[in-house]
Structure 1
Amino acid sequence: MKNSEFIKAYAPATVANVCCGFDVLGFAMEHPGDEVWARKKETPGVTISAVTGVTGLSLDPTENVIGVVAQKMLSDLKIGHGVELQLHKGLPVGSGLGSSAASSAAAAYAMNELLGKPFTTQELVVYAMEGERKASGSAHADNVAPSLLGGFVLVRSYDPLDIVPLGVPVELYCTVVHPQVELKTSLARSILKKDIPLQKGIRQWGNLAGLITGLLKGDYSLIGRSLHDEIFEPERSVLIPLFNQAKAAAISAGALGCGISGSGPSIFALSATEEQAMAVQHAMEQVYGSSGIEVKSYVTQVPDQGARLIEQTILQPAQA
């Protein structure tokens, strides 16, 4: 194949649920993230010529989330030409950091740029959700929306879809520790009880309202008081080795709050300053230091931008 012009887009990792916002609240990280490269081709359909950074992901565009997203966009726009894609994973799979969401968001953003920006970034959420449907069986938005839009995002409703970007009204830093253990989202969901006691529900709703109010008012104390999960964390935390010890260490080191990122096994903590976030990282890493469980950790500011175009560049597509 001859050299061809590729569009290159990046979409970041995300933290979903944020303790009290199960399935309705998420925020973006600055890194890690995924890149999708896209170019037009004369023949119709979607092809995936390369996946790097991880093993085991399919090149079949009907089985890989980036292909599903691209095909849906081509179909809705009634575009006859095809697209070649490449996925470059910088985000670990099964981490609880929105791995499939970052791929889906990057694909939607790259496709939109390639096709002349027919959609707003917020309109791309619907297409990225199709990747999530393929990955998990549920077209949820609490990861893809912040990955596309940046900052904090509230999913007020799914029927009809109502996405509310909250931005980054107050400076916050996120520490994430990812224990290198496998935890399937299907297992983390299967253990959840279907019925919620009224009193726990009331406390949870109060915490969610308090968290959003704290963000909008810049009230760090209120944010900290509200970062509690009354319902799901007690059930899911048993699946994450040393979760309680890591959470206690984070709070002792100055974190505003700490909880499970997505369905786990990653654990996140929010801090008011980068210095505090680094101290929290050190404290949480120490918990796992003598356990024999390896961890990867990240410290990142919560950014006000999510997916973005990196560059248009001339590349040699992968050889078949």
Structure 2
Amino acid sequence: MAAACRTSPTPTNLSGPRGRSPSIPRFPTIRCASQPLRTPSKTLATADPVPAFLSVTAFAPATVANLGPGFDFLGCALDGVGDTVTVSVDPAISPGTLSISSISGSAASAAKLRRDPLWNCAGIAGIAAMRALGVRSVGLSLHLEKGLPLGSGLGSSAASAAAAAVAVDGLFGGRLSLGDLVLAGLESEKKVSGYHADNVAPSIMGGFVLIRSYDPLELLRLEFPTGQDLYFVLVSPEFEAPTKKMRAALPAEVKMKDHVHNCSQAAALAAAVVQGDVKLLGMAMSSDGIVEPRRAPLIPGMVAVKKAAIEAGAFGCTISGAGPTAVAVIDGEEKGKEIGDRMVEAFLRDGELKASATVARLDRIGARVISSSAF
């Protein structure tokens, strides 16, 4: 069965009325007791819903996963950068199926992606959302616009999956819970990068999300206080860091003292988020003693880049996801640009890699419908 979610505070109805653009409520805490999405919930699966719109376009933000000691259980969403998916009712497509009509955006990313929906992140998540809804009488076509490069460590696959799941759900009036949407995204992640939700959950839900449990799935939204600024300096070198290779570098066993150290830093990281303590957040983020020490040497110049970021005034710096993007945190945009310049210089000087820098705010909203077309 699909996820049954409990929220705090009590949610409003997630089903959007027909004829209106669906809105997806956001909650500070979402706990989802779930079984595999392969068997949709009976109430949705038997409905064979009628499309509320002819087409819907959804945007899903990039994400930073791990944040140092939060390996595979903590991530956050980034404002302004991400992927966009448009899903349309298409009479030329067999009922109950989905086809990818086109892929655009970054030339390098678009050229590498397959249009077979069973081997494309957006296609897999879109099909999973259709299955959860019980769609049988109409076929859908999907267009993916890649705003994120592949293998950047910024949740590129998760953003495609999140945008597709939200677009399909929005096409039918916004009937799925946030837990259902995350499960649809996890179907995609499981196939392309592993069963971990630290990218797809924050991309869908926005803000910081902690995965307390995978079986059953339990997601905790950590609220960074409103009115406080939090900026991420993202520096991406021209270098590929395949997730499989970066995972292969991890230790098979961890010493007790390293385990205790990382647990304390992860706890400090979560406390810093809810307290809005950017300095503590940065210090905890920089203190991973298990994963980062194994991965940093595989990215030319990363050690020097982290040092340059902190010397330039960043509160902390680490590897974003599996890399190769380096991420630093600061509380001001202009200061962030200066830090980014120093990090770019370090990649070139010590790693002989060209790099580009971007400063992004925390995205507090997550994946959302941005436009729709009526019949």
TM-score, structure 2 normalization:
0.80
Deviating more after overlay: 57-66 vs 286-295: 286-295
The structural deviation recorded for 1:132 is 0.6
Aligned to 2:266: 208
SS of the equivalent of 1:55 reads helix
Q: CA offsets per residue over residues 273-297 of structure 1, 9 Å max, x none?
A: 2222122111111213456422122
Aligned to 1:10: 59
Instruction: Find the partner of 1:58 among 86, 89, 114.
Output: 114
Aligned to 2:127: 71
- For 1:270-281, what aligned pairs fall within 5 Å after superposition? 270-281=329-340
Aligned to 1:33: 82
Aligned partners of 2:283, 2:242: CA distance in 1, in Å?
Answer: 30
Aligned partners of 1:173, 1:304: CA distance in 2, in Å?
Answer: 12
Aligned to 2:151: 94
Q: Which runs of 5+ in 2 are unaligned?
A: 1-52
Instruction: Find the partner of 2:320 among 248, 252, 261.
Output: 261
Is this contact kept in 1: 2:278–2:329, CA < 8 A? Answer: no
Instruction: Find the partner of 1:21 among 65, 70, 76.
Output: 70
The structural deviation recorded for 1:71 is 1.5
Backbone CA RMSD of aligned residues: 1.6
Q: CA offsets per residue over residues 131-153 of structure 1, 9 Å max, x none?
A: 111212x2210000111111111
- For 1:141-180, what aligned pairs fall within 5 Å after superposition? 141-169=197-225, 170-180=228-238
Matched, 1:297 2:357: yes
Q: CA offsets per residue over residues 196-243 of structure 1, 9 Å max, x none?
A: 100001010000111111121222332233121110111000111100
Instruction: Find the partner of 2:99 among 26, 47, 55.
Output: 47
Aligned to 2:277: 219
Paired-residue identity, % = 40
Aligned partners of 2:265, 2:276: CA distance in 1, in Å?
Answer: 16
Q: Which runs of 5+ in 1 are unaligned?
A: 315-320
What amino acid maps onto 1:50 in structure 2? Answer: S
Aligned to 1:85: 142
SS of the equivalent of 1:310 reads strand
Instruction: Find the partner of 1:139 among 190, 195, 212.
Output: 195
Is this contact kept in 1: 2:67–2:319, CA < 8 A? Answer: yes
What amino acid maps onto 1:309 in structure 2? Answer: V
Is this contact kept in 1: 2:124–2:188, CA < 8 A? Answer: yes
Aligned partners of 1:289, 1:22: CA distance in 2, in Å?
Answer: 28
Deviating more after overlay: 212-221 vs 53-62: 212-221
SS of the equivalent of 1:62 reads helix
Aligned partners of 1:18, 1:276: CA distance in 2, in Å?
Answer: 20
Deviating more after overlay: 187-196 vs 74-83: 74-83
The structural deviation recorded for 1:73 is 2.0
The structural deviation recorded for 1:22 is 0.2
Aligned to 1:317: none
The structural deviation recorded for 1:313 is 4.7
Change (3 A) 1:73 1:123: closer
Aligned residues: 310
Instruction: Find the partner of 2:296 among 218, 237, 242.
Output: 237
Q: CA offsets per residue over residues 92-127 of structure 1, 9 Å max, x none?
A: 001111110000000011011001111133431111
The structural deviation recorded for 1:5 is 4.1
Deviating more after overlay: 16-25 vs 75-84: 75-84
Is this contact kept in 1: 2:330–2:336, CA < 8 A? Answer: yes
Is this contact kept in 2: 1:96–1:263, CA < 8 A? Answer: yes
Aligned partners of 1:239, 1:31: CA distance in 2, in Å?
Answer: 29
Deviating more after overlay: 253-262 vs 118-127: 118-127
SS of the equivalent of 2:85 reads strand
Is this contact kept in 2: 1:11–1:147, CA < 8 A? Answer: yes
What amino acid maps onto 2:303 in structure 1? Answer: N
Is this contact kept in 2: 1:122–1:149, CA < 8 A? Answer: no
